[in-house]
Amino acid sequence: MVELSALFHGFAVVLTPFNLLLMMIGIVLGVIIGVLPGLGGANGIAILLPLTFTMPPTSAIIMLSCIYWGALFGGAITSILFNIPGEPWSVATTFDGYPMAQQGHAGEALTAAFTSSFVGAFVAVVMITFLAPLVAQFALQFGPPEFFSVYLLTFCSFIGMGKGSPFKTLAAMMLGFALAAVGMDMVTGQLRLIFGFTDLMRGFDFLIAVIGLFGIGEILLSMEEGLSFTGKSAKINPKIVLETWKKLPRYWLTSLRSCLIGCWMGITPGGATPASFMSYGVAKRMSRDGEKFGTGQIEGVIAPETAAHAAGTSALLPMLTLGIPGSPTAAVLLGGLLIWGLQPGPLLFVEQKDFVWGLIASMYLGNLAGLVIVLTCVPLFAAILRVPFSITAPVIVVICAIGAYTVHNAMLDIWFMLLFGVVGYVFKKLDYPLAPLVLALVLGDRAEDSFRQSMLISQGEVSVFFSNWLVGGITALSLVMLFWPLLSKLLARVRST
């Protein structure tokens, strides 16, 4: 039980008044970010990241990860009360959450959503507590070829598991890699892809891309729909909460299933959004009231919310242990680690014990605090959404511009943000996935480094990626993932004959 003592040490790190205050601020900011259209977990954290440059890394990550939890909670409020998913992963929550609100059970739906979110996150954190040290230990043996094969697996799973056209996924991902390559080549010192523009020497910062793609892009999308918010009011009081809590244990099997789906989808880079849909689908198929789903079943709220939170939380496991984020938001947090001077990866568990266990301890506390805050402050947060869009839209654009500027104190970045906003809008409408683009932009340099080092070791022989059972296994798995759409078709054909 080394993990438990380490965890208690982590609690000792977290439980200072300053850190607890940051935690509360983080949760409240996160919920607000989750409620507002155009601001979400990924770009909200990207915008606030520059403010944490001067903080100690542990305090900074506590605040930023709490913003993430808050955003996860916040998405449910808009889905249930307004039928507008504040975050992509809460789309599935609208299916049954909004009908419940229409029937006057908004309080019940919200309580169920928040509680299941908490359960999902809690299970995921417990898993991280015990699994992460093992994974990190294991990954300590990794050399450059192993790391590259893990990167390969991450990116191949995007192509194989993606819903849309695999070629669009590939194009988006490779654009991310190309953008990451812009600027100085760290190995040879040569300038790449800048075509004489010295301003491009710094390269494209992924934070700017995230703020533009998700922030400005989202505003443009919302504008097109001509948003007018007409929401249901929520009455939520201790009596409703307690009554709902009494009902919830009945659905333990749905919760458990959703937790498992969520954890799995979070560790593999599926992410919270597909996890919530998958969990909703599975719950619908397995439930006795399956055919009633979509008319306001409490189970239809529990399933997606549990899975989304479990996935969102467990996306931090590969980020901490391998340095590979499982979601765009985890990617932004990873970017934060690099900026604070920490090297993500297995060594983090050896060299930065305070940081890692402080973060894990803050996940327990942050989610608990989050549950209390959202349960007590729902009307307040719903009121924010009633502020007309013609006020919030320009303010959000301004916030995005400020966020983009503060990353490098560069005016040019604001222009790039706008450009990325247009790209985000067009890509979203044409089903180009944004997550692989962002992940490729973040991981591009590191993937290239590990590739180059592997090539140096083997003197240019690609066979290095099959040189032992470990790296060979991961590479083979990547190839299976890459060609999964073809393989599954082939399998189906073999079975039918």
Partner 1 sequence: MAEKQASRGAEQAGISTRTMDIVVAVLIFALGAIVVFDSYRLGSKWGSDGPQSGYFPFYVGLLICISSLVTVVQALRTTSGEGGLFVAWGPLRLVLTVLIPAAVYVLGVQYVGLYIASAIYILIFMVVLGKYSWLRSIAVGVLVNVGFFLMFEVWFKVPLFKGDLDPLRFLGY
| One of 219, 319, 320, 360 touching partner 1 (CB under 8 A) | 219
3-state secondary structure of 184: strand
- Distance between CA 128 and CA 134 in Å, rounded? 10
Which candidate, 92, 466, 104, 433, places its Cα nearest to that of 270?
433
| One of 95, 151, 177, 206 touching partner 1 (CB under 8 A) | 177
Q: Does 178 bind partner 1 (CB under 8 A)?
A: yes
Residue 430 phi/psi, 5° resolution? -100, 10
| One of 24, 131, 181, 339 touching partner 1 (CB under 8 A) | 181
Which candidate, 90, 89, 77, 388, places its Cα nearest to that of 227?
388
3-state secondary structure of 88: helix
Total interface residues for partner 1 by CB under 8 A: 57
- Distance between CA 427 and CA 436 in Å, rounded? 12
Q: Does 220 bind partner 1 (CB under 8 A)?
A: yes
Min dist. Cβ of residue 360 to partner 1 (A):
28
- Amino acid occupying residue 223: M
Segment near partner 1 (CB under 8 A); pick from 13-21, 89-97, 186-194, 474-482:
186-194
> Which of residues 292 and 452 has its CB atom nearest to partner 1 in the complex?
452
Q: Kindly write out the interface string for residues 155-174 of this chain, putting x where it contacts partner 1 by CB under 8 A and - elsewhere.
A: ----------x-xx-xx--x
| One of 196, 460, 469, 494 touching partner 1 (CB under 8 A) | 460
- What residues from 397 to 436 belong to the interface with partner 1 (CB under 8 A)? 397-398, 401-402, 405-406, 409, 411, 414-415, 418, 421-422, 425-427, 429-430, 432
Asked whether the beta carbons of 231 and 382 are under 8 A apart, the reply is yes
> Which of residues 187 and 372 has its CB atom nearest to partner 1 in the complex?
187
Helix, strand, coil shares of the chain as percentages rounded to 5? 80, 0, 20
Residue 297 phi/psi, 5° resolution? -90, 135
> Which of residues 364 and 427 has its CB atom nearest to partner 1 in the complex?
427
Q: Does 452 bind partner 1 (CB under 8 A)?
A: yes
- Distance between CA 127 and CA 236 in Å, rounded? 31
Q: Does 363 bind partner 1 (CB under 8 A)?
A: no
Q: Does 462 bind partner 1 (CB under 8 A)?
A: no
CB neighbours (10 Å) of residue 23? 23
Q: Which residues contact 223 (CB under 8 A, 6 or more apart)?
A: 389, 393
- Distance between CA 27 and CA 35 in Å, rounded? 12
Min dist. Cβ of residue 483 to partner 1 (A):
15
Q: Does 455 bind partner 1 (CB under 8 A)?
A: yes
Min dist. Cβ of residue 208 to partner 1 (A):
13
Asked whether the beta carbons of 46 and 68 are under 8 A apart, the reply is no
- What residues from 307 to 346 belong to the interface with partner 1 (CB under 8 A)? none
- What residues from 98 to 127 belong to the interface with partner 1 (CB under 8 A)? none
> Which of residues 162 and 346 has its CB atom nearest to partner 1 in the complex?
162
Which candidate, 389, 278, 328, 299, places its Cα nearest to that of 108?
299
3-state secondary structure of 14: helix
| One of 139, 261, 374, 393 touching partner 1 (CB under 8 A) | 393
Please spell the DSSP secondary structure of 120-153, one letter per residue. Answer: HHHHHHHHHHHHHHHHHHHHTT--HHHHHHHHHH
Please report, as ranges, the residues that interact with partner 1 according to CB under 8 A. 50-51, 165, 167-168, 170-171, 174-175, 177-178, 181, 185, 187-188, 190, 192-193, 195, 216, 219-220, 223-226, 388, 390-391, 393-395, 397-398, 401-402, 405-406, 409, 411, 414-415, 418, 421-422, 425-427, 429-430, 432, 448, 451-452, 455-456, 460
